[in-house]
């Protein structure tokens, strides 16, 4: 492919795909941003879930640990 072919493709694109360069934002997005910030979910990291799953499995396999654990709490 040479420079001429690149320019030909460029010419075609510019003719049929209008540039969006100066498209202006029509409204203030801060209220939307604020809503998003207020809806911030409480996220648990994956290792917390893994730990919880591990403890649950442990309790299922060795239920005798539950009173022992409660005694030490």
Question: Within positions 27 to 66, which residues make up the interface with other proteins, using CB under 8 A?
Answer: 27-30, 32-33, 36-37
Is position 23 an interface residue for other proteins (rule: CB under 8 A)?
yes
CB of 67 to other proteins, least distance (A): 42
- Taking CB under 8 A as the binding criterion, the range among 16-24, 51-59, 62-70 that sits at the site for other proteins is 16-24
Q: Report the greatest alpha carbon distance in the chain.
A: 82
Output DSSP code: residue 23. P
CB atoms within 10 A of CB 58: 13
What is the rounded CA–CA span in Å between residue 11 and residue 15? 6
> Can you give the binding site for other proteins, defined by CB under 8 A?
1, 5-6, 8-10, 12-14, 16-30, 32-33, 36-37
């Amino acid at each position: 492919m040479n420079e001429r072919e690149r320019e030909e493709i460029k010419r075609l694109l510019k003719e049929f795909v209008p540039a969006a360069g100066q498209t202006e934002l029509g409204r203030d997005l801060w209220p939307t941003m604020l809503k998003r910030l207020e809806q911030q979910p409480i996220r648990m990291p994956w290792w917390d879930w893994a730990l919880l799953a591990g403890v649950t499995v442990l309790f299922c396999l060795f239920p005798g640990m539950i009173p022992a654990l409660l005694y030490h709490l």
